Chain A
Amino acid sequence: MADVNVAREVRQILIVDDDPAMEAEAVAAVAIFGDATVRTARTVGEAERWIKRVGFDLAIVDLGLPDGSGLSIITLLMKGAPPGADVMAMPTVCVARTVFDDDAHLFAALAAGAQGYLLKGETIEVVRGRLRAAMAGEPVVSPKIARRVLAYFRGEASPVSAQPATRASIPPAALTTRETEVLRLLAQGLTLPETAKELGLSVNTVKTHVKNAYSRLDVSTRIAAVDTARRMGILDADGAR
């Protein structure tokens, strides 16, 4: 495993939000990254134009935009570097931003490839903490997500909908004992450092376990998650703007 603790340098930042106040808040939050260039977009179209021209290190994407869903921007960013850019460039770190933290919104964003999420209305300190964590390659964690992932691997539920998993044809790979332990502690509301302390592991090891567990959420499940989210109207009816 690569060392994920080394924060990558942030030079280009994309902020997509149609609400000027929220945009301003995000701009204020990313001040922690020093003199990085910040581009802003108000619509999916504008964001796409930026993405074609610039390779971004960080993108903060509102999920509910006037001309579509931020999920499509995340998906586009995850496809890789724009043509002509440095092929060795690392993929953009995407952080989804939404007003609602229900499972469907979070999982749709994570499945699309978001590294983290921000809830609108959180204090700037919390927002900055999240952004730092995302840039440090920290997996996004919350008790809700951990419970959902555990339930998924128990075969009880799909990550997206509350319905019992019907995709029995793609049995999820089992979690390791350690991964399960980690997720259980996270599910009880422990933070990553607390979990590490509890298990007598390093924080990095715990992060790796979490990431491995997330990566086992089958690729096809991710696609299904996006589809399901789209069908459920979350992508179009996102109230995040």
Chain B
Amino acid sequence: MRTAVSPSFRLVLAIAACLLSGALATTVVRRPPWLGLTFEQTVAGATLRIASVDVDETVNVPRVRAGDSLVAIGSTIRDIMGVVPSDLLEEPDFLDTWALEDAFYLRQSAITRILHSPSVTAVVIDKRGTVRSVVITPRIRPLASLPLIFWLQLLFGAAGLIIGTWVWALRADDWGPRAYAVTGACFLIFTHAAAIYSAREIALPGALFRTLSGINHFGAIHFGAALCTLFLVYPIRLTRAYAPLGLFAVATGWWLACVTRLAPDQDWGSRFPVMLAMLGAIGIALVQWRRTKGDPAARAVLRWFAVSVLTGCGAFIGLTAMVSAIGGLPPIPQGYAFGFFVLMYAGLAVGLRQYRVFDLDQWAYRILFWGLVVAVFIALDLALLNTASFSEGRTLVVGTFLAIGTFPVRRWVWSRLFDRDQLPPEQLFEKALHVTYAVSDEARDTRWRALLTELFDPLHAAADGTRDGGMNDGDVHLAAQGQELAIPAVASSPALRLTYARGGKRLFTPNDERLVRTLLSLMNAANASRKAYDEGVQRERTRIARDLHDTVSSPLLAGLAPLGPDAESGAQMATVQSEIRRAVRGMRSVVSGDAVTSAPLADCAADARFAAVERLTAAGLTVTWPLSDLGSHRMGPAERHAFGAFIQESITNVIRHSHATHIEVDVHVTDGVLRCVVTDDGVGFAPDPERQGDGLPNLRARAESMGGVATIGPRSDGRIGTEVTLVAPLTATVEV
């Protein structure tokens, strides 16, 4: 049968029930003829002060005015009865004994009879104390005259039933929503019943009134039973079905005892059972608390329920309980106080729907806090109402102070409750760096997991490759109602799924989500710069390797070349040593970074000159190397190297082969072209096969690497000797 009814149909039924019930209530409340008077809602006073009048003036000559007080009414001037403020009592439950209640109903019946007369004589007294009698013709009460409180109660009741039905309709097979739907129905019953009698002008027929009150009690008591049932079955089902049934049986029995006046008085009849139901609900909630240990989602829902019920029922009971505590009438009409239940209703619905369970705690705290503020405010207001020295304005000041002055305390409580896992930004950054700069991928992964453990202490942290059907490479997100936090892959760590924060004591929250997101973006940024750094190191390493190969390995390998069988071993040794020296020089240039930085041509020439002169002098040669203006030309790394090597090797050739005594070197720049001439007075140049490997091909290679040309030949001035020329364009003239 259940499957035959669709959720929307249930909802339609509920709305229809609300409309029907509302229409019924509206009809009943308009049954008694209407005088057109609206009375001030007073807590104390001896008379009924008229707040506004809606009387047909053509009939009534001395008019009733707003501000007058109604003293008595009757069908004729000879048959009048006095009216008192208690005749306007909103809720007969506020009367303490059955006798008082019966007397109240009798007066209601009597007044109703008077209202049914064709014309009603009302005795009013004005502000000056003048008494006069006015004849009013009762009319059918117009809809527009029904007070706000009537419509509100209808609305509250409807809201309860519709929300309850909605939650139930969506999850009809769960016991929680079922119990919840029952509370909704009960709520409709007691609010709509109360709506009728609270909206009467002065009176309803006593029997009707008593019936309505009975209906109201029925709703209230069963509402309590349903609430207890809700906690019995939700979040965890604590009992079998008979326990709720038993509860309802007790509720019905108690209600019968109440309406049949078997209970000794009003306290026993209606107040205690309702109170008992509330206490019972709290007790059962505590049992739920124990049973939901290790289930943070259930606990979050439970906390939320507790807060909803506490604020909703608590506020209502607090207000109505004051009736017996301090005597008198509640500070606001009961009808408005029903609004608290609606708040509770909405709260319970949120909990049952498990909507953003991970957020509930924070909202619960906020609601609880402000509820407390409001309660303190009201209590203060009441306390100060009796001390004449305090005006309303001052209570407002005190209340404002409470709301603002407690801000630091609130902040503290809040941070204790929800921000425990928050880190200051610099620590966050440090931790992100700590993870990113681990030495190896494994270490990085280990540190990342350690950091997550430190932050959230989850029961499990597993690579997340299963649930999403693959690696989660998307964003951080909460899953399973905050029981899980899915974290995307970062660097070398796979996507992770953390389960049960703080060992299952709490849920993951959007704050956690944000925290991890921040961490991830920090780590990704750090990772990018680490990668760039690593790449830089790698590039540098590659460069050094290449440079070492070019400048060190090749001379060393040349030195390793096997000695020819008929070669002069002395000359060969000299070649080997020279190659090794070249290698060492090359290594020096690699290490000093000369191979990577540009430098002024003048400096390069100076270095080359100094080294050459020192070597030549030590070898017993004289040198002429005039200084020349080399301008602001610069040489790139490759050019520097090639230039230095060219000079070095030319000198080596001169020392080794030329038998020269004097050498001239000229370096100058013309129109951006470097020209370098090395002239010796040796035996002259003879390109024969014997002199292979003496570096002449090297000189050409150096020149080519500068984009220039090397020529080796006899001296251009005709004297004996050799002239080596390097002509190369200077490209790197821009300041680096």
Contact = CB atoms under 8 A, between A and B. Distances in A.
Query: Do they bind each other?
Result: yes
Interface of A: 99-102, 119-123, 125-126, 128-129, 142-144, 147, 185, 187-191, 194, 239
Nearest 5 CB-CB pairs, A to B? A189-B609, A121-B584, A189-B606, A125-B618, A143-B606
B113 to A, nearest CB: 107
Interface in B577-591: 580-581, 583-585, 587-588, 591
A174 to B, nearest CB: 23
B592 A102 contact: yes
A100 B588 contact: yes
Contacts of A126: 614-615, 618
Contacts of A188: 602, 605-606, 609, 627
A119 B613 contact: no
A100 B618 contact: no
Interface string B585-625: 10110011100000000110111111001110111000001
Give the interface SS of chain A, mostly helix, strand, loop or mixed: loop
10 contacts: A99-B587, A101-B588, A121-B583, A122-B581, A123-B615, A126-B614, A129-B617, A187-B606, A191-B614, A194-B613
B591 A189 contact: no
Interface in B456-476: none
Given A122-B581, A126-B618, A129-B618, A189 B588 contact: no
A162 to B, nearest CB: 10
A125 B581 CA distance: 13
Contacts of A119: 584, 588
Given A123-B618, A189-B613, A239 B627 contact: no
A99 B613 contact: no
B603 A143 contact: yes
Nearest to B606: A189
B592 A142 contact: no
Contacts of B607: 142-144, 189
Nearest to B627: A188
B610 A142 contact: yes
Give the interface SS of chain B, mostly helix, strand, loop or mixed: helix
Given A122-B581, A188-B602, A191-B617, A102 B591 contact: yes
Given A123-B615, A126-B618, A143 B610 contact: yes
Interface centre among B580, B593, B607 (most CB of A within 10 A): B607
Contacts of A123: 581, 615, 618
A100 B592 CA distance: 7
Nearest to B625: A189
Contacts of B603: 143, 147, 187
A221 B208 CA distance: 108
B596 to A, nearest CB: 13
A193 to B, nearest CB: 9
A239 B588 CA distance: 11
The size bracket of the interface on B is: 20 to 34
Given A122-B581, A129-B618, A189-B613, 6 more contacts: A121-B581, A123-B615, A123-B618, A143-B609, A189-B607, A190-B609
Contacts of A187: 603, 606
Contact of A189 (B585, B610, B615): B610
A85 B361 CA distance: 86
Contacts of B617: 129, 191
A190 to B, nearest CB: 7
B585 A121 contact: yes
A16 to B, nearest CB: 20
B588 A99 contact: yes
Contacts of B584: 99, 119-121
A119 B605 CA distance: 20
Nearest to A101: B588
A144 B589 CA distance: 13
Nearest to B628: A188
Contacts of A191: 610, 613-614, 617
Interface centre among A100, A147, A188 (most CB of B within 10 A): A188
Nearest to B577: A123
Contacts of A120: 584
Contacts of A189: 605-610, 613, 625
A85 B713 CA distance: 62
Nearest to A122: B581
Nearest to B589: A101
Contacts of B618: 123, 125-126, 128-129
Contacts of B592: 100-102
A144 B602 CA distance: 12
Interface centre among B584, B587, B588 (most CB of A within 10 A): B588
Nearest to A100: B591
A126 B608 CA distance: 15
Contacts of A122: 581
Contacts of B614: 126, 129, 191
A190 B608 CA distance: 10
Interface in B543-596: 580-581, 583-585, 587-588, 591-593
Nearest to A185: B627
Interface string B209-250: 000000000000000000000000000000000000000000
A239 to B, nearest CB: 7
B662 to A, nearest CB: 15
Contacts of A142: 607, 610
A187 B588 CA distance: 20
Contacts of B602: 188
A126 B648 CA distance: 14
A189 B619 CA distance: 18
A9 to B, nearest CB: 23
A147 B610 CA distance: 13
Nearest to B618: A125
Nearest to B630: A188
A230 to B, nearest CB: 19
A128 B620 CA distance: 13
A185 to B, nearest CB: 8
Interface centre among B588, B592, B605, B610 (most CB of A within 10 A): B610
Interface string B611-655: 001110111000001010000000000000000000000000000
Nearest to A147: B603
Interface centre among B581, B606, B613, B615 (most CB of A within 10 A): B606
B674 to A, nearest CB: 16
A126 B610 CA distance: 12
B621 to A, nearest CB: 11
A183 to B, nearest CB: 12
Contacts of A185: 627
A35 B39 CA distance: 134
B623 to A, nearest CB: 9
A225 B57 CA distance: 111
A122 B580 CA distance: 10
Nearest to B619: A125
A27 to B, nearest CB: 18
A187 B630 CA distance: 14
Contacts of B605: 188-189
Contacts of A125: 615, 618-619
A190 B606 CA distance: 7
A99 B592 CA distance: 11
Interface centre among B591, B603, B608, B618 (most CB of A within 10 A): B618
Nearest to A126: B618
A129 B618 CA distance: 7
A182 to B, nearest CB: 14
Contacts of A143: 603, 606-607, 609-610
Contacts of B627: 185, 188, 190
Contacts of B619: 125
Contacts of B610: 142-143, 189-191
Contacts of B613: 189-191, 194
A142 B608 CA distance: 11
A100 B589 CA distance: 9
Nearest to B655: A123
B605 to A, nearest CB: 7
Interface centre among B591, B593, B608 (most CB of A within 10 A): B591
A186 to B, nearest CB: 8
